[in-house]
Amino acid sequence: MKRINLEVIVGFFLIVGLVAFAFLAVKLGGMGTSTAGQNVFNARFTSSQGLKEGAAVEMAGVKVGEVIRISFDPEDYVSIVEFTIPRNVEVQDDAIASVASSGLLGGKYLKVSPGGSPIVLGDGDTLTETEPSISLEELIGKYMFESGGTGE
Residues 114 and 95: beta-carbon distance below 8 Å: yes
pLDDT at position 152, please?
A: 47
pLDDT in tens, 109-142: 999 999 888 999 989 899 989 988 777 777 787 7
pLDDT in tens, 52-64: 999 999 999 999 9
pLDDT at position 57, please?
A: 94
Q: How many CB atoms lie within 10 A of CB 79?
A: 21
Instruction: State the number of CA atoms in the 13 A half-sphere of 96 facing the CB.
Output: 9
Q: Tell how strand 62-73 and strand 78-86 pair up.
A: antiparallel
Rounded to two decimals, what is the model's pTM?
A: 0.67
Q: What is the mean pLDDT of the chain?
A: 85
Determine the Cα–Cα distance for residues 125 and 97; give it in Å rounded to an integer.
13
pLDDT > 70 fraction of the chain, expressed in percent and rounded? 87
